[in-house]
Amino acid sequence: MAVSIDTVSNRQTDTRRHGVPGPRSGSRAYWRILVMFMLNAQMRDTMLLAARILLSTLFLIMGWGKLTDFSGAVAYMAQTHVPFPALAAAVATVTELGLGLAVLAGVLTVPIALVLAAYTLVTGLIGHPFWSMSGMMRYDNMIHFYKNISIIGGLLALAAAGPGRFALRPAN
């Protein structure tokens, strides 16, 4: 048995499992981590609601911007060489507003989060091609591209976890 001294509590710790203190170690850090991963259902559902609100905010704000300045959205689509810029702007507006509202409400969360993850990847590839730029433009677009990648991670986590209890559901 491998034993070491926990410098926080001056107790012996059992490090048989890859050097990680076990439950018999008395380590305060171990118990903090354990509590963090054992969230009760209320806290989990509240955090899922917060995640849905925060993720949907981006899509709602950007969709509203496209709706209120549609000519600007079409001009941006044309600038990025998207075929049929007016159609692309309309699809983007409907996607961002419609699916953003659905995520916010918790309606069909899993499939919609997956669709938005794919949409976010495509918009990142089209809208932020940092690999074809140089200087400050490259740096700026690289930041935006990787923010899109991070948003995809949040959407995939939401798809895996589901909407939580605080979501609109059809009556049974």
Q: Which amino acid is residue 142, in one-letter code?
A: M
pTM reported for the whole predicted model: 0.74
Of residues 38 and 79, more confidence is placed in: 79
Same-domain pairing of 110 and 153? yes
On the question of pLDDT at 35 being above 90, the answer is no
* 150 inside domain: yes
* 168 inside domain: no
Same-domain pairing of 82 and 133? yes
* 149 inside domain: yes
Q: Which amino acid is residue 125, in one-letter code?
A: L
Domains identified in the chain, total number: 2
At 95, list the tokens: 């996607």
- Using pLDDT thresholds of 50, 70 and 90, give the confidence band for residue 34: low
Same-domain pairing of 25 and 57? no
Same-domain pairing of 112 and 49? yes
Same-domain pairing of 73 and 155? yes
* 103 inside domain: yes
For residue 90, give its domain range.
41-161
The pLDDT value given to residue 42: 75
* 31 inside domain: yes
Q: For residues 32-61, give the mean pLDDT.
A: 84
Same-domain pairing of 110 and 126? yes
On the question of pLDDT at 5 being above 90, the answer is no
Rg (CA), the chain: 23
* 167 inside domain: no
d(CA 98, CA 91): 10
Q: Are 56 and 171 in contact (CB under 8 A)?
A: no
The number of beta carbons lying within 10 Å of the beta carbon of residue 160 is 10
Q: For residues 135-139, give the mean pLDDT.
A: 93
On the question of pLDDT at 107 being above 90, the answer is yes
